[in-house]
Amino acid sequence: MSLAVPRSLSPTRVTAFTDCPLAFRLRTIDHLPEPPSPQAVKGTLVHTALERLIWRHEPGSRSRAAAATELDGAWEDLQADPELEKLGLDDDSAEAFRVDAATLVDRYFELEDPDRVRAVGVELLLEADLGPLRLRGIIDRLDLTDDGELVIVDYKTGRAPGARFEHAKLTGVHLYALLCQRVLGKMPVEVRLLHLRDPVSISAAPSDQTIRAQHQRTVAVWHAIERACERADFRPRPSPLCQYCHFQTFCPTFGGAPPEAQPLTLAGPRRVPVVVAPDPDVAPDAVLVPEPAVAPEATPVGGGAPAPVAPAVPSSAVPS
Ligand code: SF4
């Protein structure tokens, strides 16, 4: 029995396959349900508040009070989100949840001065074809420096990785630099992870070499996924990550057996601004090109500034 090969991958999914092929299969191919994640819902809340702070407020007015107001609004909006309902928080837990989110938003101000931020896009979904694979990822924020250079900023609400895992995390973010280069025609000079919990900022400077290496590695991972699908052979890879894995019941490492799971119907993706890099090997009319989110004349080739891209929905809209 062979399994359906996913049509596209996000940088997070690429890393997920290398972390554990079996967990990748159960999540991405079989779509086995997982319990609601308070961390993911809180991440959505915090991301929304920070995106609104940057996008709705001019430089000079991005204060802690403005951020707190945006968090209140995002919290109100979240009440209608089924993911929050699934957490089943009672009043006290909900208040603790909101207060912790407020702490994370407040800590953002220890990492950068938002009044100095010149964002040209938030929640920006980029897609590019890398040979057989469509790579898609959401960039939390795309900034422009005074020199007309691009900087990718990614908010993280979990703990910063230890020194041992820092390199692996940065490997993933180089894929966002690759996407940026393919779609916008310009390589960012920096990819910055803002870990709000600690708080600590981790930066990487992409280069032609790192981007080329990521391209090759990603295509190699894709071929490994294709082979695994053909043979229906996704092996477990035990690691410290097992303690967070919801699939232990199906994992031979823990005495379980992978189910021949039927794919479940998932809710369709929510709409986000999307920019697609056309595959040069495919005729233009065969390429799906949704409404452009960046005006062609504003594409930052040669140091020009890209047009602002409207904010959209939380990162949870698309697996990342
Ligand atoms: S428990 Fe560990 S080895 Fe098993 S599927 Fe999960 S991550 Fe993979």
For each of the domains in the chain, give its residue range(s) and CATH number, in order of start: 1-32+119-254+271-320 (3.90.320)
Ligand 1 mean position to 245 CA, how many Å?
6
Mutate to test the pocket of ligand 1, among 19, 30, 243, 251 (most ligand atoms within 8 A of CB): 251
One digit per residue, the tens of pLDDT, for the chain of length 320 reads: 788 899 899 988 998 999 999 999 999 999 998 888 999 999 999 999 999 999 999 999 999 999 999 999 999 999 999 999 999 999 999 999 999 999 999 999 999 999 999 999 999 999 999 888 899 999 999 999 999 999 999 999 987 766 656 666 666 778 899 999 999 999 999 999 999 999 999 898 999 998 999 899 999 999 999 999 999 999 999 999 999 999 998 999 999 887 764 343 333 333 334 444 443 333 322 222 222 233 333 333 223 333 333 333 333 333 33
- E-strand spans in the chain? 8-9, 119-130, 133-144, 150-156, 190-195, 200-204, 274-277
In short, whether 258's Cβ falls inside 6 Å of ligand 1 is no
Radius of gyration of the chain (CA): 20
Whole-model pTM: value is 0.78
Look at the block and give the residue holding tokens 């477990």: 236
| Burial state string for 112-142 with b = 16 or more CB within 10 A and e = fewer than 16 | eebeebebbbbbbbbbbbbeebbbbbbbbbb
Ligand 1 nearest atom to the CA of residue 22, by list position: 5
DSSP, collapsed to helix, strand or coil, labels residue 150 as: strand
Residue 229 CA neighbour count, 13 Å, CB half: 16
In short, whether 32's Cβ falls inside 6 Å of ligand 1 is no
Select from 121, 115, 124 the least CA-distant residue to 144.
121
DSSP class of 309:
B
Ligand 1 nearest atom to the CA of residue 21, by list position: 8
In short, whether 253's Cβ falls inside 6 Å of ligand 1 is yes
In short, whether 55's Cβ falls inside 6 Å of ligand 1 is no
Q: Which residues contact 91 (CB under 8 A, 6 or more apart)?
A: none
In short, whether 18's Cβ falls inside 6 Å of ligand 1 is no
Helix axes 163-184, 11-19, angle to 10 degrees: 140
Mutate to test the pocket of ligand 1, among 18, 235, 241 (most ligand atoms within 8 A of CB): 241
Ligand 1 mean position to 209 CA, how many Å?
32
